[in-house]
Chains A and B, each alone.
Chain A
Amino acid sequence: MAIQTILVINKSGGLVYQRDFVPNAPRLSSNEYLILAGTLQGIVAIASQITPKSLQLAGKSSAKGGNEPMGSNSAPLVPYMGTLGATTASGAPLGSFLGPDYFNDAFASWNGRGLKHVTTEQNSLFVYHTLTGIKFVAVSTQPTTNAMAVAVAENLLRKTYCLYADYVMKNPFYEAEMPIKCELFDQHLGALVGQL
């Protein structure tokens, strides 16, 4: 599974970052990518609207019975997968994230209802939401519905978020919500995807 494209969509649905990693990938114009980002933003909201009735009923009854706590905070944990992107030899500075890898534990997914994963005949598309509303999207060159692959993608995108926090948000020349033009972010993201 190779990563074809990574997109970052800001909280209002605008595309702030787009990068292709596969040389012979089908080229979309930058305008088409902007439309794609806006469409995805809308679909994430729609997907949570059409949650099946039986699930809505089940959610309500369990909230009443109090058997399992429902709510965004109890979103299931995504398992941590291996050493994806454990690049830097010990001692090399890695932003604010200590340790050889950015994180080593299972983490909660904030995306409790929205769109997560789309497969087509040729690609699969993974969406990772952050609590602040930024969406990280990865397009891979193989269709897969495997739960493991989804978890791996989620880990990759969370690491991308870590890189975003370090190299974009701490860049004094970066204006929030604007397109990302940070060289360090490019470099580190390239290295991260190269490891996969």
Chain B
Amino acid sequence: MALYSFWIFDRHCNCIFDREWTLKTNPSSGTTNSKLNEDTAKLLYGMVFSLRSISQKLGSKDSFNEIKTIATAKYRAHILCTASGLWFILLSDLKQEDLSQVLRYLYSEIYVKTVVYNWLSPVDFAESANEKRGQGFRKIRNRQFLLAVEQFLGPMVN
């Protein structure tokens, strides 16, 4: 099992968390919440957004046809979109066929318990009401969250 990176986007199209592993052999390698990744984050957001609107049109009219995975010749992106507008995206190698359970766990057991239940954490990651889409820079820096993500995803990286 190989994981390459993990991303969370909020409903303002901002990347509020990113974690990228660069060495397969070392799960503590790589970057967390790095500024350098922001262009990549925007491209990733755009790709998922466009494919999501395509899938919405292709599906039947009465139900929302949510996107699940995107595969290229080199990697696969697994996507979980929550009703509150959060996107959880996990990039893995092509052998992983379905990581939706992992994403669901990350949302319900880790994000909800360490970020949503945390009174000191902001409810909404936008700085102000008139902030433009994709302009935000506030990230999840909650230590409990970082630790829980590391502990849960670390063993799966290599």
Contact = CB atoms under 8 A, between A and B. Distances in A.
A123 B67 CA distance: 9
Contacts of A36: 54, 57
A77 interface: no
B102 interface: no
A30 to B, nearest CB: 13
Interface stretch (A46-54, A81-89, A163-171, A173-181): A46-54
A40 B70 CA distance: 12
Interface stretch (B43-51, B111-119, B137-145): B43-51
Interface of B: 4-5, 20-24, 30, 40, 43-44, 46-47, 50-51, 53-55, 57-61, 63, 65-76, 91, 94, 97-98
Given A57-B23, A145-B69, 19 more contacts: A4-B58, A39-B50, A39-B54, A42-B50, A47-B47, A49-B40, A50-B40, A52-B75, A54-B21, A113-B73, A116-B71, A118-B51, A118-B69, A121-B65, A122-B55, A123-B58, A123-B59, A139-B58, A145-B71
Interface of A: 4-5, 26, 28, 32, 36, 39-40, 42-43, 46-55, 57-58, 75, 109, 111-123, 125, 139, 143, 145-147, 150
